[in-house]
Amino acid sequence: MRRFSTILGFSAAVYAAGCGGGSASRGGDCAECDVPNGRSSLEAFLDRAEHRGFAKESGPHPSAGPHFGDVVAYVSPKLEESLAGGNTTHPVGAGAVKELFGRGGGTEPIGYTVYVKVRQGAGAESYYWYERFDGNQFANGVAEGVCVGCHSGGEDEVVLSPYPLE
């Protein structure tokens, strides 16, 4: 029994340290962030559709990745400025919101994928990640493994959408 509880305790510590769980990895609101990076404030931001004031793609299109059918990407002002400058590493506060429509269209999103850079450094581990689709949450934290796995190792530290936006 002691061995099981030791393994369980170790697993919980690893999860909290950066694999998508624990309050230490959840993020929090930062003054310089274009997009909130805590679940409750982010969901209120999304409910108010504040991201729709950002630069965006021309319309829904099939996702090139695993993001639930048709999508539209929005880039925050800090991210747009960084991308326009040809940067591949972005400033703290830069972020993006992807509206998820599922397959078969629709006019209102049924989910969102979000990232926002919350700390200095290069790489996907310096970002807060959030994904919710059709009532299910798949990510909510800094260095979320499910997100970092796909958004690492490219030319840009995390941005996979083509820029300029199409």
pLDDT in single tens digits along all 166 residues of the chain: 333 332 223 223 322 333 333 333 456 667 789 999 889 999 999 999 999 999 999 999 998 888 888 999 999 999 999 999 999 999 999 999 999 998 876 789 999 999 999 999 999 999 999 999 999 999 999 999 989 999 998 899 999 989 999 9
- DSSP-assigned letter for residue 111: E
- Distances in whole angstroms, Cα of residue 125 to Cα of each of 60, 69, 112, 142: 28, 26, 20, 7
- DSSP-assigned letter for residue 125: G
